[in-house]
Amino acid sequence: MIVRIMGEGQVKLADSHFTELNRLDDELLEEMEGGDEEGFRRTLGALLDAVRRLGTPLPDDALEPSELILPAPDASLAEVREMLSDDGLIPG
């Protein structure tokens, strides 16, 4: 799956990593619903770090369609809330 982190670029990520990412996504959703700004910042950072660590960066000149778009590391709680589906940032 091709994942874009807004403002950073794209990474190719194996489907086998989505269990870990979904756990972080669920935690992020709970913190957002509870208005926990500190927890939101921590978990968003952990989610993006996991994508970077587990994924393989695509070259800057690659123009692959992104199947998943994640917010920039400095995105506000309100901005991320607008990106959410019922499942969070990561479907499934």
The pTM score is: 0.88
Tell me the average pLDDT across 82-90: 72
- Please tell me the predicted confidence (pLDDT) of residue 4: 94
Residue 61 has pLDDT above 90, yes or no: no
Tell me the average pLDDT across 15-43: 92
* Of 92, 72, 87, nearest in space to 29 by CA: 87
Tokens of 65: 């369609």
Residue 69 has pLDDT above 70, yes or no: yes
Residue 87 has pLDDT above 70, yes or no: no
Residue 27 has pLDDT above 80, yes or no: yes
- Please tell me the predicted confidence (pLDDT) of residue 82: 83
Q: DSSP per residue over 4-59, as a string?
A: EETTTEEEE--GGGHHHHHHHHHHHHHHHHTT-HHHHHHHHHHHHHHHHHHSEEPP
Is residue 66 within 8 Å of residue 10, measured between CB atoms? yes
Name the one residue in this structure whose structure tokens are 């019922």: 86
Mean pLDDT, the chain, whole residue set: 89
